[in-house]
Amino acid sequence: MSNLRERLRDTEIAVAPGIYDAFGALMAERAGFPAAYLSGASIAYTRFGRPDLGLVGMDEVASVLSAIGERVQIPLIVDADTGYGNALNVIRTVKLFERNGAHVIQLEDQSLPKRCGHLAGKTLVSAAEMVGKIKAALDARQSQDTLIMARTDAIAVEGLDLALERAEKYREAGADILFVEAPRDVDEMRAVTARLGADVPLLANMVEGGKTPILPASELQEIGYSLVIFPGGLARAVAHLMGRYFASLSTHGDTAPFRSQMIDFDDMNNLIGTPDMLAAGARYDPGNFEDQS
- Return the DSSP state at 280: H
Strand partners, 227: 14, 203
Q: What are phi and psi of 228, to 5 degrees?
A: -130, 135
| 38-47, 110-119, 193-202, 221-230: least confidently modelled range | 110-119
How far apart are alpha carbons 254 and 268 in whole angstroms? 19
Per-residue pLDDT of 93-122, as tens digits, reads 999 999 999 999 999 999 988 988 888 889
Residue-range domain boundaries for the chain: 4-232, 239-283
Give the pLDDT confidence score for residue 33 in this predicted structure.
Answer: 97
Give the pLDDT confidence score for residue 112 in this predicted structure.
Answer: 85
Alpha helices in the chain (DSSP H): 4-7, 22-30, 40-43, 58-71, 87-99, 127-140, 154-158, 160-173, 186-196, 217-223, 233-252, 265-272, 274-282
pTM exceeds 0.85: yes
Mean pLDDT of the chain: 95
How far apart are alpha carbons 102 and 219 in whole angstroms? 28
How far apart are alpha carbons 150 and 279 in whole angstroms? 44
Strand partners, 78: 38, 105
How far apart are alpha carbons 193 and 45 in whole angstroms? 31
How far apart are alpha carbons 208 and 228 in whole angstroms? 13
Confidence of residue 290 (pLDDT cuts 50, 70, 90): confident
Count Cα atoms within 13 angstroms, Cβ side, for 205.
Answer: 27
Query: Could you tell me the CATH superfamily of domain 4-232?
Result: Phosphoenolpyruvate-binding domains (3.20.20.60)
104-108 and 227-230 strand pairing: unpaired
The three state secondary structure string of 78-134 is: EECCCCCCCHHHHHHHHHHHHHCCCCEEEEECECCCCCCCCCCCCCECCHHHHHHHH
